[in-house]
Amino acid sequence: MELIQQLWQASGLYQITLGQFVMLCVGGVLLYLAIAKKFEPLLLLTIGFGGILANIPGAEIATGDGLLHLVYVVGIETGVFPLIIFMGVGAMTDFGPLLANPRTLFLGAAAQFGIFATLLGALGLTSLGVMDFSLKEAAAIGIIGGADGPTAIYVAGQLAPNLLGAIAVAAYSYMALVPIIQPPIMRALTSEKERAIQMVQLRPVSKLEKILFPILLLLLIGLLLPTAAPLLGMFCFGNLMKECGVVDRLSDTTQNALINIVTIFLGLAVGSKLQAEVFLSASTLGILLLGMVAFAVGTASGVLMAKAMNRLSSTPINPLIGAAGVSAVPMAARVANKVGLEANAQNFLLMHAMGPNVAGVIGSAVAAGIMILFTSGL
Amino acid sequence: MELIQQLWQASGLYQITLGQFVMLCVGGVLLYLAIAKKFEPLLLLTIGFGGILANIPGAEIATGDGLLHLVYVVGIETGVFPLIIFMGVGAMTDFGPLLANPRTLFLGAAAQFGIFATLLGALGLTSLGVMDFSLKEAAAIGIIGGADGPTAIYVAGQLAPNLLGAIAVAAYSYMALVPIIQPPIMRALTSEKERAIQMVQLRPVSKLEKILFPILLLLLIGLLLPTAAPLLGMFCFGNLMKECGVVDRLSDTTQNALINIVTIFLGLAVGSKLQAEVFLSASTLGILLLGMVAFAVGTASGVLMAKAMNRLSSTPINPLIGAAGVSAVPMAARVANKVGLEANAQNFLLMHAMGPNVAGVIGSAVAAGIMILFTSGL
Amino acid sequence: MELIQQLWQASGLYQITLGQFVMLCVGGVLLYLAIAKKFEPLLLLTIGFGGILANIPGAEIATGDGLLHLVYVVGIETGVFPLIIFMGVGAMTDFGPLLANPRTLFLGAAAQFGIFATLLGALGLTSLGVMDFSLKEAAAIGIIGGADGPTAIYVAGQLAPNLLGAIAVAAYSYMALVPIIQPPIMRALTSEKERAIQMVQLRPVSKLEKILFPILLLLLIGLLLPTAAPLLGMFCFGNLMKECGVVDRLSDTTQNALINIVTIFLGLAVGSKLQAEVFLSASTLGILLLGMVAFAVGTASGVLMAKAMNRLSSTPINPLIGAAGVSAVPMAARVANKVGLEANAQNFLLMHAMGPNVAGVIGSAVAAGIMILFTSGL
Amino acid sequence: MTPLMSAGVQLMLVGMGTVFFFLTVLVAATRVMSAMALRLAPVPDSPPESASVTPGPQSRHPTPDEIAAISAAIAAHRAARR
Amino acid sequence: MTPLMSAGVQLMLVGMGTVFFFLTVLVAATRVMSAMALRLAPVPDSPPESASVTPGPQSRHPTPDEIAAISAAIAAHRAARR
Amino acid sequence: MTPLMSAGVQLMLVGMGTVFFFLTVLVAATRVMSAMALRLAPVPDSPPESASVTPGPQSRHPTPDEIAAISAAIAAHRAARR
Ligand code: NA
Ligand code: NA
Ligand code: NA
């Protein structure tokens, strides 16, 4: 009966391609990492599941009028979702440690070298003919080194939508791998003695400072680098809602219902970019490789910057907290704390590392603004 | 003064049609059923109120740029709202009883006969010239027998938007009437002795099984019937978020803020389809009639299937739980439990009935996939 | 190096205009009022921050594909956001005091005179050549006198989008200034003896009355003035969800997650209308001036109406509660209570003032319907 | 008087007229509705004091006091567990 | 039988066939999956009674009783503070 | 060096330059702001330990322990009511 034939030809078994099969496995791996290994579960679970949905043959959930494609167009192409997430992150961020010790901003600056080194790496591979990345694509890949999910997704959505899936997966995977990637680099670049350095107790920070800082930050970025203003603007808005103390119900919702809802759809939409025909390419391998480099270089430059600052200044800085400059909040700060405790059981670096940690978020947003300014025109 | 005349001609009193008056009463009845009788209040209250708004003469809330029409276009035509609701339902569903006794899936399959019998009924009335339903419309009407709100709305939105209001109202009304519709049928088809059958205690189910099941279900549907993948995919996603235990904040929001927000707008948007000129037609009467048939047939086939299984297998099944196969979660399972207790005060069937109950959700999603596959092309 | 020149020319410092500088200061002032003075912080903080974002030179957040412009188009041009807010306000409103003493509805009616006096004022300034407002614009400005944020934003979005920023800022600022604007007027128009009048204890109100009232209100507005039905319809829907007691989870979400999320984006979107080139004009000054007049006239007419009613009726009304008729819920009711206590320490007017207070919301929605009916066609 | 002004005056008259007419009808309708409602459900289930704008316990946000109370409870519990 | 009816009958046959075929496959696959899962993680961590449709404590709405309990606690605390 | 590479190198130089320039300005501005803020509001109202990324009690999710605590309380209450 020809209805049965029609049924068979519409089935996934009949339509599935090797690529889709591979991507279903990749989706499964992401779910495994999220659930069993607890690697950034909020994002890798949603991205992984979105990837599986996007590779079901014939379902067309991630194309045309399919749910995931609609969500992608509405939320990612417009940049709305990453900006809302960034607002939520701002509402969960405490600038206290940064305000208590503003010098640590320099560590957050140095760590951004990973971004630009990766940019060069991507262009290098292209010049060698190994890969074929445009300047825009290379810039988007570089931002992986910012170790900041929403920033990477925002920039990729603007500069290289075709690579968004791979970039987001790389960014979140390596953020989850920070406890494995960073420690060897940190140990290699520091002596036992340096890792044991104790830092001076942070001064208390007043409420007024915490309220004024996000406004100050927004005005400075607005005056110097407006292309970074959307990202940092929403970040500062979230932080101001948290610190001002007069809109707690808004801040509360931003940190919970709103960021959770957007995270679900952001993850699914990013996952929709894991379609076999888009994702399975040499460039994805290149991106995963370059992303690893980005994290390593960023970590190293943060540590080296801290050592340099120790040369110039009297008040000692434990170079380990330099590694937190890549952001990957709060994982990188915890890693610095952990490695510090190994060297000196009395050495609690967590609070000190939170400074460069959030500084890294600002730093990579600035780098993102630069990338957008100089390449989006091309 | 001609302003006053203008005011009078713009008034509802001047513009109201008999149909609108009737529909305002219908809306009132739905509110009464929701508030006084507590019939599916979450949906009947919102649908009823939406229906009233849609029939206010001259307000044009449900047409053009009116709020309800915008919400309908954005949320129902795209299928986004029912899919999100389905995700939320998945996040509130426990597959434990089903996993403990997979055989009960057959009961969920049998009960879907109500869907196809209704399809035939609708076509029969058309052949007799009583009604005039296309195959698409008949398919959408049949899904009422799935006793599953979001599935019915999703399918109607795809295949027969013009009947969506009547189909949704019928589906939710009869789901609320399950405690009245099912018991007589259940008693008629079973002996006192059968109703008193005690079932063996369900085995404990491990967390791992609960995590793997939604993934397994999605892969199978993807390989065999991709047109059902959007519905079951979102359902499995919600269930995985609940069971995996690593994204509790997302699962929490999905079960509360998100599903509540979408329910409000889904109900209003469905209500916007209760406009007099669309709703007041013979087909609506036909749909209400056929929907009743669908529930009755589905209940009967579930019970008969359970009796058949008792013939074939040694481990006894209480045929009452077959009635839960129509889904209408969790009402139908409670009904089975209640009728069972009447026959045997020691007989707690609730957990055993939850298996066919959730199996019915899967079954009707599969039936929905079939309908979309074979009729949407026409 | 010409990259650096490009960077400099893209910077805010290079591009900033005097107008933008002024507006950045205005935004700062709004933040100050919201945070330090706690003036309507939920709205003035979000509007103020949106205003700052909208005036960052070169960021283009409030134009084209910028986030704030997208949010404005989706949420305000369509009227969706103010309507959702109104639904949330309805879900937080208790009509008890109004039902206990329906006469107070007249006070809510009288206070709307402020709206129409302001309309005349705006047209007068135009006739004198001082300003240049069309009838539509004058109508939108008048609604400031409704002392009801969402209503003002809804009407401005429909009739005078170009003035929306100034109108919203005026409405919320004066609502915050109610404790300063109203008392002198109230004292000037009443004698010590009148202010000391004690009112009879309010009768208890049954649940059934509270459930029926929103439905009654909607039907009446639908029959008499459909153009006000979208606003009052959503208001009644929210109130019914709260009072019916069968959809508490929806009512709960409406009063929290949903209204908070929409408030954030409503505020930012309104702020996007604070762009220098739009906001810095003579008409803004005119609007601020007229808005002040609107509040003053509304307060006065409410008080005078109460005095008139005292003439006609035996049961005494304390004229102070007439001032609450402008709405500005619940601030105006608190002001009436406070001024009343000054005159008579035993005189608790809060509950009595809540009646006219919510009546004022209904009254200004009716006035809004009139404005839309008679001017939107022009 | 300019045509614009006269249009405004007309709008004011019709507007205030409508507002008063509508609210008068509403007062009457409300009285009738209340009378019928009280006949159907005589015993009021909400004391007069209960009337207020603040949402019910379920929906309102906890006050600092209450957060303190809850936090204290949690802290106590944790201490107990150690 | 009209062509419409025969189309309907065909659809019914294919439909019910597919539903049963799919759920049969699902039953088999579930049995295999469970067997493997129980080999990997033998000890069940959820007692049979726990199986239910109601979401966990985190997500479900508090019942009036519980609200009463919590409110009482808060009230007690406030009283204590005065 | 290919033009693409040289473009990349230029971008790197300008980029890192801008990042450092911006953060240097930010450090300076922050110091000035803090000095002014501390003159206006000398007494700090938040102890250094309080600095952390976790949101306040209102917004954070309860830990399993706390849920257990609360559930226990509720259970106790229910038991009491029976
Ligand atoms: Na970073
Ligand atoms: Na079903
Ligand atoms: Na008002």
CA angle centred on A49, ends B154 and A93, rounded to 5°: 110
Among positive and negative, which fits the CA dihedral B258, B264, B267, B270? negative
Task: Considering only residues F73 and B364, tell me which one the structure prediction assigns the higher pLDDT.
Answer: B364
- State whether residue C253 sits within 8 Å of chain E by CB: no
B-to-F residue pairs, Cβ atoms closer than 8 angstroms: 3
pLDDT, one tens digit per residue, over C190-206 is 999 999 998 888 888 99
d(CA B107, CA B299): 10
Which tokens is C367 given?
A: 């006035």
- State whether residue F46 sits within 8 Å of chain D by CB: no
Closest among C112, C147, C96 to D21, alpha carbons compared: C112
Question: Taking a C-beta distance cutoff of 8 angstroms, is the pair A335, A341 a contact?
Answer: no
Res E81 pLDDT > 70: no
Which tokens is C104 given?
A: 């107070």
pLDDT of res. E80? 52
d(CA A351, CA A94): 11
Long-range contacts of B27-34 (CB under 8 A, 24+ apart): B27/B51, B27/B52, B27/B55, B27/B271, B27/B274, B28/B52, B28/C215, B30/B169, B31/C215, B31/C240, B33/B173, B33/B176, B34/C244, B34/C246, B34/C247
- State whether residue F49 sits within 8 Å of chain D by CB: no
Which chain D residues contact residue F62 at CB under 8 A? 74
A293: Cα within 13 Å, side-chain hemisphere? 17
B248 — pLDDT class (breaks 50, 70, 90): very high
Which chain A residues contact residue F29 at CB under 8 A? 216, 220
Cα end-to-end span (Å), chain D: 84
C374 — pLDDT class (breaks 50, 70, 90): very high
Q: What's the whole-model pTM score? A: 0.90
The percentage of residues in chain F with a pLDDT greater than 70, rounded to a whole number, is 50
DSSP 8-state secondary structure symbol assigned to residue A40: S
For C333, other C-beta atoms within 10 Å of its C-beta total 28
Contact E37 B208 (CB under 8 A): yes
Q: What values do phi and psi take at A375, rounded to 5?
A: -115, -25
The percentage of residues in chain C with a pLDDT greater than 70, rounded to a whole number, is 100
pLDDT of res. C300? 95
The alpha carbon of A2 and the centre of ligand 2 are apart by a number of angstroms equal to 27
Question: Can you tell me whether residue A330 is helix, strand or coil?
Answer: coil
Which chain C residues contact residue B3 at CB under 8 A? 374
Of all residues in chain C, the one with the smallest CA distance to F10 is C3
The DSSP H or E segment spanning A35 is: helix A18-35
pLDDT, one tens digit per residue, over C103-136 is 989 999 999 999 999 999 999 999 998 999 999 9
C122: Cα within 13 Å, side-chain hemisphere? 34
CA angle centred on C333, ends E71 and D66, rounded to 5°: 20
For A21, other C-beta atoms within 10 Å of its C-beta total 13
Nearest to E71 among D57, D65, D73 (CB): D57
Cα C290 → chain centroid? 14
The alpha carbon of A329 and the centre of ligand 1 are apart by a number of angstroms equal to 9
Distance from E33 to chain F by nearest Cα, in Å?
Answer: 29
Least confident of B349-353, C43-47, F45-49, F58-62: F58-62
Which tokens is C260 given?
A: 């908070």
Which chain C residues contact residue B268 at CB under 8 A? 237
Res E57 pLDDT > 50: no
Dump the DSSP string for F26-56.
HHHHHHHHHHHHHHHS-S-SS-GGG--SSPP
d(CA A336, CA A350): 7
d(CA A375, CA A119): 12
Distance from C253 to chain B by nearest Cα, in Å?
Answer: 6
| Chains in touch with E (≥3 Cβ pairs < 8 A) | A, B, C, D, F
F46 — pLDDT class (breaks 50, 70, 90): very low
Average pLDDT, chain D: 69
- What does the H/E/C string look like for chain C? CHHHHHHHHHCHHHHCCHHHHHHHHHHHHHHHHHHCCCCCHHHHHHHHHHHHHHCCCCCCCCCCCCHHHHHHHHHHHCCHHHHHHHHHHHHHCCCHHHHHCHHHHHHHHHCCHHHHHHHHHHHHHHHCCCCCCCHHHHHHHHHHHHCCHHHHHHHHHHHCHHHHHHHHHHHHHHHHHHHHHHHHHHHHHCCHHHHCCCCCCCCCCCHHHHHHHHHHHHHHHHHHCHHHHHHHHHHHHHHHHHHHCCCHHHHHHHHHHHHHHHHHHHHHHHHHHHCHHHHCCHHHHHHHHHHHHHHHHHHHHHHHHHHHHHHHCCCCCCHHHHHHHHCCCCHHHHHHHHHHHHHCCCCCCHHHHHHHHHHHHHHHHHHHHHHHHHHCCC
Cβ-Cβ contacts under 8 Å for B57 (sequence gap 6 or more): B12, B15, B16, B17, B20, C222, C226
Question: Can you tell me whether residue E72 is helix, strand or coil?
Answer: helix
Average pLDDT, chain B: 92
Nearest to C206 among D9, D25, D45 (CB): D45
F61 — pLDDT class (breaks 50, 70, 90): very low
F52 — pLDDT class (breaks 50, 70, 90): very low
Ligand number nearest to the C-alpha of B360:
2
Give which of C1, C2, C3, C5 to mutate to test F binding, by max F Cβ within 10 Å. C3
Nearest to D77 among F57, F58, F65 (CB): F65
Residue numbers of A between 9 and 38 with CB closer than 8 Å to E: none
Least confident of B236-240, C275-279, F47-51: F47-51
Residue numbers of C between 143 and 182 with CB closer than 8 Å to E: none
Least confident of A176-185, B118-127, C282-291, E47-56: E47-56
Per-residue pLDDT of chain A (378 residues), as tens digits, is 688 888 898 888 889 999 999 999 999 999 999 999 998 899 999 999 999 999 999 888 999 899 999 999 999 989 999 999 999 999 999 999 999 999 989 999 999 999 999 999 999 999 998 999 999 999 999 999 988 999 999 999 999 999 998 999 899 888 888 999 999 999 999 999 999 998 888 888 999 999 999 999 999 999 999 999 999 999 999 999 999 999 999 999 999 999 999 999 999 999 998 999 889 999 999 999 999 999 999 999 999 999 999 888 888 899 999 999 998 888 899 999 999 999 888 888 999 999 999 999 999 999 999 999 999 877
Question: Taking a C-beta distance cutoff of 8 angstroms, is the pair C169, C47 a contact?
Answer: yes
Contact E67 D73 (CB under 8 A): no
- State whether residue A254 sits within 8 Å of chain C by CB: yes
